[in-house]
Amino acid sequence: MKILTAATMKKWFIRSLFGIALLAVTLAGVFTWLGRRPIPVIGGTLTREEQIGIRRLVRREMWKHEFPDHSWKTISHGPRALCELSTARIGLVEILRPNYAEVAVRSRFGIYYYWIFKRSEIWSVGPRIRTPSYSPPLVPSRPKTETEFSGSLSNHAKVSF
């Protein structure tokens, strides 16, 4: 049986402390790097400060959604929530109207959309939804035939009365 002396305990403590400090510096660097990436914006432009504010606002709302209270259900869903929060990335911001925008957040568990709106120069967040505010175009169930395909490439308008 190995007996731990004060010298070996001190070495172990210093190595553990060094490892924890190295891990903390690495995580801080990763989060800083992730926070500095610009967010793609569609339909307008946002200043750097607005992008940072929107990122913080959405991130705070995500934390509120994943950890709403201190109930047993929240605690039992903790590992999944931490996994979702660690993999979530803001995909894009789509400015729909001058003071309204939609933020797409992609995570391991799907894509979520947040409505955000600006009142008196401050962005606020609305509900979290699973579908975008617009409907994507429908994909046909069968491929187009040759005549349908060539007809869709035509510059002539077909009018019928």
* Calpha distance 41→52 (Å, rounded): 13
Rg over alpha carbons for the chain, rounded to the nearest Å, is: 25
What pLDDT score does 66 carry?
Answer: 87
Higher per-residue confidence, 49 vs 145: 49
What pLDDT score does 43 carry?
Answer: 75
Residues 35-58: tens digit of each pLDDT: 556 677 777 778 888 888 888 898
Reply yes or no on whether the pLDDT at 98 is more than 60. yes
What pLDDT score does 143 carry?
Answer: 60
What pLDDT score does 83 carry?
Answer: 86
Beta bridge partners of 124: 117
Count of alpha carbons within 13 angstroms of residue 47, beta-carbon side: 6
Burial class (CB in 10 A: 0-12, 13-18, 19+), 112: buried
Mean of the pLDDT values across residues 78-97? Answer: 85
Reply yes or no on whether the pLDDT at 18 is more than 60. yes
Reply yes or no on whether the pLDDT at 67 is more than 70. yes
Mean of the pLDDT values across residues 65-90? Answer: 86
Residues 110-144: tens digit of each pLDDT: 888 888 888 888 888 887 887 766 554 555 556 66
